[in-house]
Amino acid sequence: MPIPENSPRHHPEPGVVVIPSVNWQGLETLYLKEVRRFFKVQLQTVWAPAITTLMFLVIFALALGRSRSMVLGVPYADFLGPGLIVMGMIQNAFANSSSSILVAKVQGSIIDILMPPLSAGELVAAYVAGALTRAWLVGIAVWLVMLIAPGVDVPIRSPLLVLYFGSMGAIMLALLGVLTGVWADKFDHAAAVTNFVIQPLTLLSGTFYAIDRVNPVMATISHANPFFYIIDGFRSGFIGASDGLLGQGAIILLVINIALWALCYRVLRSGWRLKA
């Protein structure tokens, strides 16, 4: 007796496409795995970065508290706060995606990611979504503490700018984290990228200073740094003032993210440094 086509026991003929477009179930499963991975150790992955970021604010507030300096029309602490929030966000987005892939490679469990019917695009989307979730959790945690912290005022004036530049910055670093995780063979390699690429670009992006107060050479270097547009756009959503052109920064970040996404897709699709 033939099995009806709508029966659970019916299997398609070989070569028949079962997942015609996007494997939503697999995508959701990998995303939830990424979120649960960092949320199990949330004291280390969410609250510790939040406390570290707040230490920067406390140190600079104490060091410059008596000077009452104004930057872009607001007190220095108010200028510094949003930059520290997004700095913590993008650093943790990078850490999440890079460590996830690297740990899977070191432990030999990367095969569990490569074997399921997930395309390269779905893998990139899941890793980026997990990193983006962690970034916003860190950002919200820092912002909530800053709301009740004395000496700093961080009201959101333009939620759209905060959402766009915060998300674009986290996505950019998440994609860089994917590339780093694929390239790295050991934790020293990932640490080298963090220490010699991510940290310098973050610290020289205008987080702690306004571009109009530095010499022309430093200003040119800062404007060539894509991290500058992340922090400047995010900060402008809080203080209502910008160091650069927001429209230009928004386009630059979009182009960079599209290019990085295409590169990640190609690397994962090829299996470079992932498949034996």
* Domain assignment of residue 209, given as a range: 24-64+71-270
Residue 252 lies in a domain: yes
Model confidence at 218, in pLDDT bands (50, 70, 90)?
A: confident
Stretch among 54-63, 113-122, 212-221 having the lowest mean pLDDT? 54-63
User: Span 184-192, mean pLDDT?
Assistant: 93
Average pLDDT, integer, range 191-220: 87
Residue 121 lies in a domain: yes
* pTM score over 0.85: yes
* 3-state secondary structure (DSSP) of residue 261: helix
Q: Is pLDDT above 70 for 257?
A: yes
Whether 16 maps to a domain, the answer reads no
| 14 occurs within a structural domain | no
* Number of domains making up the chain: 1
pLDDT in tens, 55-90: 888 787 666 655 567 888 888 888 889 999 999 999
The overall average pLDDT reported for the chain is: 88
* Residue 7 located in a structural domain: no
Percent of the chain with pLDDT over 90: 56
Comparing 65 with 146, the larger pLDDT belongs to 146
Query: 244-274: buried (b, 16+ CB within 10 Å) or exposed (e) per residue?
Result: bebeebbebbeebbeebbeebbebbeeeeeb
Confidence at 146, pLDDT banded by 50, 70, 90: confident
Q: Return the minimum-mean-pLDDT range out of 14-23, 222-231, 238-247.
A: 14-23
What Cα–Cα distance (Å) separates residue 4 from each residue in 9, 11, 12, 14? 9, 10, 11, 17
Q: For 196-235, give the secondary structure using H, E and C.
A: HHHHHHHHCCCCCCCHHHCCHHHHHHHHCCHHHHHHHHHH
Give the model's confidence band at 211: pLDDT under 50 very low, under 70 low, under 90 confident, else very high: confident
Per-residue burial over 206-243, b = 16 or more CB atoms within 10 Å of its CB, e = otherwise: bbbbbbeeeeeeebeebbebbbbbbbbbbbbbbbeebb
For residues 185-210, average pLDDT: 90
| Residue 19: inside a domain | no
In a domain, 212, yes or no: yes
Is 89 part of any domain? yes
Of 136 and 22, the one with more pLDDT: 136
More confident residue, 57 or 185: 185
**pLDDT > 60? residue 54:** yes
pLDDT for the residue 116: 87
Average pLDDT over residues 12-18: 58
